[in-house]
Structure 1
Amino acid sequence: MAASKSGKAGAADFDMTKFFDFEKMMGDMRMPGFDPTSLMEAQRKNIEALVQANKVAAEGFQALAQRQQDILREHVEQMQGLMRDAVSADTPEANAGRQAELMKIAFEKALLNMRELAELASKSQSEAFEIVNRRVMDSMEEFRQLADQNKGKA
């Protein structure tokens, strides 16, 4: 396997023809309309699409994890502020009113954060699915074109 720019071998660098010589294996079978090179190219494209979809999904997961970390940090900072406010309040009544208001704000922010995280996850999944879906559609078109080419040979 050849190494990519990062120095690591990846699926895009994978060459199945180094492991299997399909043309040689299928040479004796002589199936009309069967093009092993086209089959190998289609499989290479399939693998590339899966690698790309996995990359997009992994990047989405990293963005989601980073955002969760940011939310946790914001929440801890907010709780520290609440504790400072609770200690510095003039009267217990003022403190209770202030805490109730802050809890309401914290709850609303938590709901917004949950929605944001759900949207991030959904976007990542949609992008990965779109890559695979596009490859399936391209593959179907390639198959149709191959079938059309073979009509004239039969």
Structure 2
Amino acid sequence: MATPPNPFADFTRMMEQFRLPGVDMSAVIEARRKDIEALAEANRLAYEGMQAIVKKQQEIFAQTMQQLQAAAQQYGTASNPAEAMTRHSEFVQQQLHQALENMRALAETAQKAQAEALAVISQRAEQNVKEAGELLQPKTKSRG
């Protein structure tokens, strides 16, 4: 299988035609390449986080369906209405507690995914500030 062409190669050649005094176009292009890589990494982390949330939601749904089936079977075997109401109210209370726990877990998963993606972008932003400062430094000419 052939290696895909480097999408930055043509852009690099094009930008080098516009040689600006004191500006290292290769460094500028390399910085933009790193920006794109950071965005791709942040996107990957966000996508993985959303996949984890979907998986957790599927698990919650399956668990809830099993609990509902078990509860329906139990209520069918209750000998008197008072006992059935007691079981029903306990079941509802347990399900509300479980729903709150599930929402907390989903929120934590989403927050973790967002924090990881933001960390990648923040790190790249810090690198951009540093690189911009370096690019703007006057080049010293060596005396020979």
Alignment partner of 1:152: what SS? coil
Question: Is the Cα–Cα contact under 8 Å of residues 56 and 106 in structure 2 kept in the other structure?
Answer: yes
After TM superposition, which residue ranges in structure 1, 4 or more long, deviate above 4 angstroms? Answer: none
Q: 1:18 aligns with which of 10, 15, 23?
A: 10
Relative distance call for 1:79 and 1:114 in structure 2 (3 A) is same
Instruction: Spell out the pairing of 1:55-94 with structure 2 (5 A cutoff).
Output: 55-94=44-83
Q: 2:108 aligns with which of 101, 119, 135?
A: 119
Structure 1 residues 74-117: Cα deviation after superposition (integer angstroms, max 9, x where no partner): 00001001101100112111111011011100001001101110
Which structure would you say has the larger RCO, counting Cα contacts within 8 Å and 6 or more residues apart? 2
* 1:133 paired to 2:141: no
Relative distance call for 1:56 and 1:135 in structure 2 (3 A) is same
Q: Percentage identity across aligned positions? A: 34
Alignment partner of 1:2: what SS? coil
Report what 1:97 is aligned to: 86
Q: AA paired with 1:134?
A: Q
Aligned-partner Cα distance in 1 for 2:37–2:113 = 18
For structure 1, the residue ranges without an aligned partner over 5 or more in a row are 4-12
Aligned-partner Cα distance in 1 for 2:136–2:22 = 8
Q: 1:42 aligns with which of 27, 31, 38?
A: 31
Q: What is the CA RMSD across the aligned residues, in angstroms?
A: 1.7
Structure 1 residues 25-65: Cα deviation after superposition (integer angstroms, max 9, x where no partner): 214xxx32111100110010000000000000000000000
- 1:2 Cα deviation (Å)? 3.4
Relative distance call for 1:41 and 1:19 in structure 2 (3 A) is closer
- 1:147 Cα deviation (Å)? 2.2
Report the TM-score when normalising by structure 1. Answer: 0.84
Report the TM-score when normalising by structure 2. Answer: 0.89
The number of residues matched between the two structures is 139
Q: AA paired with 1:2?
A: T
Q: AA paired with 1:68?
A: Q
- 1:20 Cα deviation (Å)? 4.8
